[in-house]
Structure 1
Amino acid sequence: MEPINQSLSAEISTLVDSWTQSDYDLSTIGASTELPEGHSPLRTAWYHKVIFITMYSGIVIFAIVGNAIVCYIVIHNPRMRTVTNFFIATLAISDMLMATLCIPFTFVAAVLLNYWPFGTAMCPIVQFVQTVAVFLSTHTLVAISIDRYMAIIYPLRPKTTKKTALLAIVIIWSLSILIPLPTALKARTIKYVNHTSAPEYCIEKWEKKDIHLLFGITILTLQYFLPLVILIFTYGSIIVVMWVKKIPGEAESTRDHRMKESKKKIIKMMVTVVVIYAICWLPLHIINIAGDLNPGMYDLPHMNIVWALFHWLAMSNSMYNPIIYCWMNSKFRLGFRRVFSRMLCGIVKVRDESDNSRNFSRQETVVTSVHTTSVRRICFSGSRVKFTQEDIPLQSTKAKA
């Protein structure tokens, strides 16, 4: 009996050693064994799920509807087909990509279930499209800022044409697709435990950890920090020129003053878009960097809730831009009102704000560089009409609408 017991003990010892060395590889002891502790998906409380479902659903609905209306306004109205609005439409398309192909999948996998349930094929697609959408947003914001920078800092140079803007959009799309290609090649589903009931996770699988870290830093730099530096420089320079210094070559007239105020409104709108973008994405980038440097951070209590809140904040950026356009731009506001009026079958009447501004401009007093102006008067003498010309002080002259 002793040799048999010694043989059995040796087999058990070998089995335990192989289990330890294979990092809980349960295939050696049968598929019916339960998962080891720490390898099951993290469970989320039901009330947390209800709250997050409501929050993420709001993002998807507002982002898709709002950005679709923005694209419709730009495409449908010929007067809205400007260089800046072409870039704004591209920005809206990137936000719709995020809302349709990224947010629902990442929300379900990372927040609700804490594992990847959508199969092997969808993993690289979702990871790649999400990175492309973010690159589209940042590169388009940079393109808008550069266009505004050139137009305001160098007003005497030729303005960006629509053809040049469309070429820039093609370049933006090309770079946004090419740069994150390694993400599509390396993203895959894996199981941390070789077990039939083990959950799958969608991650980027790299052979060397150093290369993975270098690629992550490169993506983060090109996607967030470098564009943010460019945006701060361009809009900072514009703000100094528009609000502090006088624009080179600008004449002192009412028309130029109105044009300057119009430019200021556009700059304010785009600066608001950039600031909200930076605020929304910064917390998620910080927590992701900290997690790459110290993976054990994710094991802290309630860290999954903190990450989900930061992720929601980043994703919510896709729904804010249409609200900003409607709030800060009268033409987009009018476009939204017309769309909603058609959706409500004309129940809500829309008043054209541009007509009001035109009427107001007609009533303004004409300003010239002299104190008197030559005015023709019509004098009636019997059946004849006589035209007389005399100098009248400008202060007493009022233009009639």
Structure 2
Amino acid sequence: MSEINDTDFTVDSYTEYNNVEEYKLPETVTYILLVLHTISSGISLSGNVTIIIQNAMTKRIKSPVNYYLTSMAFSGILLVVFCVPFTVMMNLVNYTWIFGRFVCSTLSYAQTASVIQCSFTLMASSVNRHLAICRPFRPKQSARTVNGIILGIWIASFAIPAPIAYFSTIVAYNDTKFCVEVWPTNTYRQSYSSVIMILTYGIPLLVLMVTYGHITVILSKRPPGEECEEMVARRCSARNKNIKVFLLAFGAYCVCWLPIHVITIVGDVNPSIYDLKSVHVLWLFAHWMAMSNSAVTAMITIFLKSMFSSCLSKVFRKRTESDVSHTRAELSARRMTHETIL
């Protein structure tokens, strides 16, 4: 741990530490944020665990979609378990860092890794859906290929934010401790923040706009489902539902993470905005929105996939009933033939 001084920090860069007492929130605002974090964390944890269990138990439909959704569920759990409790304690309860250097180094690192994993997975799934629809006769990705892609995403997710773990440290101002990133210069900090913004927001937005825009054009030119057989129509419906899952998930990702990205980028360019208590309150609500993204994504997935599972179970039940009826008719015909011969 180090003390805040002119060697480590400049007044212009870290003026937010000059009046620590001013950042204590009114009790009403604190309680509202605590309730919001509790609700969103509970939904995220239970929802993502449900997704993992459901996909693990659904052995009939081991599709790339389920692999990607399971990977995103693990990312959501990582965010809730390793990030939310510590940031809530620091920002809403103690107003000082009490968890030591190791947790300080891993907190923002794990948060950024989770964000990168989610955005990269959304990109991979969109490319997978694009290939499946644009090239329907091409063999779909095998489980080994999908698992390899997911493993590569996780490795990249933990490698890219390594500088955050390296530059994160504990600093002290009077009797208050903070977990912050201490970069050699503000230029490095701003450049890295811009790179993370592009990787987790700009590029995914561009990729999903191109892939799903092309998918929409292709589907609009194909004949309606009524001209297909029933099973083909149901498969088309399931495919479209999977597209909706990822589109809504990405929409939720964009909405939830945009405010904190904007505040961070503006704060890197002009750190004096953090002197305003209103900006501090806005940051706390923006942080809650970002942390609640995994809960929103889990609810979207459970709602749409449960509808899909219900539809799928009806298909299997109908096929089973059809097979049973066919078997009974065949046995009855054989019995009648046997009696005729006798």
TM-score of the aligned structures, taking structure 1 as reference length: 0.71
Distance 1:251 1:161, change over 3 A: farther
Deviations 1:226-272 (A, max 9, x none): 11111111111111111x2228xx99531433322221111112111
Q: Corresponding residue for 2:214?
A: 237
Deviations 1:181-205 (A, max 9, x none): 11111111112x4x4x2x1111111
Distance 2:187 2:301 in 1: 43
- Is residue 253 from structure 1 mapped to residue 228 from structure 2 by the alignment? yes
Question: Would you say the 8 A contact 1:56–1:312 is kept in 2?
Answer: yes
C-alpha RMSD over aligned residues: 2.8
What is the deviation of 1:332? 6.7
Deviations 1:82-106 (A, max 9, x none): 2110110000000000000001111
Higher relative contact order structure (alpha carbons within 8 Å, sequence separation ≥ 6): 2
Q: Corresponding residue for 2:178?
A: 201
Question: Would you say the 8 A contact 2:190–2:269 is kept in 1?
Answer: no
SS at match of 1:79: coil
Greater Cα shift, 77-86 or 170-179: 77-86
1:156 is aligned, of 137, 157, 160, to 137
SS at match of 2:169: strand
Distance 1:217 1:240 in 2: 33
User: What's the % identity of the aligned pairs?
Assistant: 28
Distance 1:39 1:65 in 2: 36
Q: Corresponding residue for 1:322?
A: 298
Distance 1:322 1:301, change over 3 A: closer
Question: Would you say the 8 A contact 1:44–1:112 is kept in 2?
Answer: no
Q: Corresponding residue for 2:189?
A: 212
What is the deviation of 1:132? 0.8
Structure 2: give runs of 5+ residues left out of the alignment. 9-16, 323-332, 334-338
Distance 1:317 1:333 in 2: 24
Alignment of 1:187-198 (within 5 A): 187-191=168-172, 193=173, 195=174, 197=175
Distance 1:357 1:204 in 2: 54
Letter in 1 for 2:281: I
Aligned length: 311
Distance 1:261 1:202, change over 3 A: same
Q: Corresponding residue for 1:31?
A: none
Q: Corresponding residue for 1:116?
A: 97
Structure 1: give runs of 5+ residues left out of the alignment. 1-21, 26-35, 335-352, 365-377, 379-383, 386-401
Distance 2:128 2:18 in 1: 56
Q: Corresponding residue for 1:311?
A: 287
Distance 1:89 1:150 in 2: 20
SS at match of 2:170: strand
- Is residue 146 from structure 1 mapped to residue 104 from structure 2 by the alignment? no
Q: Corresponding residue for 2:113?
A: 132
Greater Cα shift, 106-115 or 308-317: 106-115
Distance 1:274 1:321 in 2: 8
TM-score of the aligned structures, taking structure 2 as reference length: 0.83
Letter in 2 for 1:256: V
- Is residue 84 from structure 1 mapped to residue 65 from structure 2 by the alignment? yes
1:291 is aligned, of 251, 263, 267, to 267
What is the deviation of 1:51? 1.3
Distance 1:37 1:204, change over 3 A: closer
Letter in 2 for 1:253: C
- Is residue 173 from structure 1 mapped to residue 154 from structure 2 by the alignment? yes
Q: Corresponding residue for 2:51?
A: 70
Letter in 1 for 2:314: N
Letter in 1 for 2:182: K
What is the deviation of 1:321? 2.1
Q: Corresponding residue for 1:391?
A: none
Distance 1:170 1:43, change over 3 A: same
Greater Cα shift, 45-54 or 277-286: 45-54
Distance 1:157 1:356 in 2: 28
What is the deviation of 1:299? 2.0
- Is residue 282 from structure 1 mapped to residue 240 from structure 2 by the alignment? no
Letter in 2 for 1:219: I
What is the deviation of 1:281? 0.7
What is the deviation of 1:358? 4.8
Distance 2:20 2:28 in 1: 24
Distance 2:315 2:193 in 1: 50
Distance 1:302 1:113, change over 3 A: farther
What is the deviation of 1:40? 4.3
Question: Would you say the 8 A contact 1:73–1:80 is kept in 2?
Answer: no
Distance 2:163 2:298 in 1: 32
Letter in 1 for 2:228: S
